Amino acid sequence: MTAGEDKTAGERMHALVRRLYPICRSITGDGVRRTLEIVGESIPLRVSEVPTGTEVLDWTVPREWNIRDAYVKDPSGRRVVDFNASNLHVVGYSVPVSATMTLDELRGHLHTLPDQPGLVPYRTSYYAETWGFCLSQETLDGMGPGPYEVVIDSTLRDGHLTYGECVVPGETADEVIVSCHTCHPSLANDNLAGIAVAVELARRLAAGGTPRHTYRFLFMPGTIGAITWLARNRERTGRIRHGIVLACAGDGGTLTYKRSRRGDAVIDRAAAHVLGDRPHTILDFSPYGYDERQFGSPGFDLPVGGLTRTTYAGYPEYHTSGDDPDFVLPEAMADTLGALEEIVEILDGDRRYLNLSPYGEPQLGRRGLYGSLGGRSDTEQAQMAMLWVLNLSDGEHGLLDIAQRSGLPFATVADAARALVGAGLLKEKVT
């Protein structure tokens, strides 16, 4: 991307984050549906509804939760805690409540962050029926003995789990999956920045001609969504060649890649090659974090890594009201998108070739393959790329192998291979 394209893409993604931010999402419910409706305005999206009670691997699709209003009113009638002010104020999946309580009676249902007294925490209780409110410690410190009117106007009943898929068809049925989660309420970096980056990447791939792989973008609730998708698509998992889970994609930290369970899959090596030109961190796989752990469960063992900026729970605003749209930076999302596009370029461009003149170095000058301007660094780099490609094109080394071994950019190596094919010195090895 050019600087102008970076800026435009960043602004477009940030606008989507701002638009999605007020919606109350959870692992099920109308907030997820509304989020997918908005995503579907930018990219073609197929939405699936999976009924409550459906067995999905070792899990069962839960009941659907929706909420209309919730508050804690003090004796004067003022809403001390108000769902309409922030959907983080209610513990996710809270059952309905209508009661009058003293502060002492209410206190066991109140959640704060004493070490961050100005922030509201994000809490959920998906699989145990309870209720609660989240508020700042400062608000709690200012509350008197009561009594308080306590209302949660919610429903928890049989319904559906909802997820969306966008497929960008490729030249082959081999798939690359890009997954992000849709289950968090007003949290801008975790999860909306990942959604925005995935939407922009899907839009660009669809507009850029037919890619080599088929790209499948998954927008689904964390954990139970990935488990549900895997349970319903077991026959498709054999086509998945590469995958990446996106989260925390817009904060000001540097990029972090978490390796797949395999540790040395092509996606792991491609990400490491791209991030090598940027400040970055690479982490080994662990069975904790986002949905890379579901795709990497031993029965599937899919080559799916994770891409974030600052890591899971690695910034003070994580899972708090501090994770708002102002915390997310357009330029950071553009940088995440740029790295993903380079990774995609490698996944689609990595091929193996055979040197058709393998005995000694072929004469490149008479074929017009040496640049006419000596001394330029890009010319020297291009010439070195040709020599590396010729030397390692034995049918066993791919272009990513060559780029890693030579220390040259993948794009430069791929350009050299195309030039050598055009000169009749290489042919692609068909597997």
Q: Is there a single domain that holds both residue 411 and residue 274?
A: no
Residue 313 has pLDDT above 90, yes or no: no
Q: Is there a single domain that holds both residue 204 and residue 312?
A: yes
How does pLDDT run across 157-170, given as a tens digit for each residue?
Answer: 999 999 999 999 99
Among candidate residues 349, 366, 384, the one where a domain is terminated: 349
Instruction: Tell me whether residue 184 is annotated as binding.
Output: yes
Distance in angstroms (rounded) separating the CA atoms of residues 245 and 295:
10
Residue 374 has pLDDT above 50, yes or no: no
Q: Is there a single domain that holds both residue 97 and residue 197?
A: no
- Please report which confidence band the pLDDT of residue 363 belongs to, taking 50, 70 and 90 as the band edges: confident
Q: Is there a single domain that holds both residue 342 and residue 234?
A: yes
Q: Is there a single domain that holds both residue 208 and residue 319?
A: yes
CATH number for the domain spanning 82: value is: 3.50.30.90
Residue 377 has pLDDT above 70, yes or no: no
- Enumerate long-range contacts of 416-420, CB under 8 Å, 24 or more apart: 416/382, 416/385, 416/386, 416/388, 416/389, 417/351, 417/353, 417/389, 417/393, 419/369, 419/386, 420/353, 420/369, 420/386, 420/389, 420/390, 420/393
SS3 211: coil
Q: pLDDT higher for 6 or 301?
A: 301
To the nearest whole number, what is the mean pLDDT of the chain?
94
Q: Is there a single domain that holds both residue 135 and residue 271?
A: no
Segment 186-201 mean pLDDT:
96
Instruction: Tell me whether residue 190 is annotated as binding.
Output: yes
Q: Is there a single domain that holds both residue 124 and residue 209?
A: no
Q: Is there a single domain that holds both residue 208 and residue 237?
A: yes
What is the model's pLDDT at position 2? 61
In the chain, the number of structural domains is: 3
Q: Is there a single domain that holds both residue 176 and residue 31?
A: yes
Report percent pLDDT > 70 for the chain.
97
Q: Is there a single domain that holds both residue 178 and residue 279?
A: yes
Among candidate residues 315, 349, 383, the one where a domain is terminated: 349
The parent domain of residue 48 ranges over: 3-62+161-349
Q: Is there a single domain that holds both residue 229 and residue 343?
A: yes
Instruction: Tell me whether residue 30 is annotated as binding.
Output: no
Among candidate residues 116, 142, 157, the one where a domain is terminated: 157
Q: Is there a single domain that holds both residue 295 and residue 385?
A: no
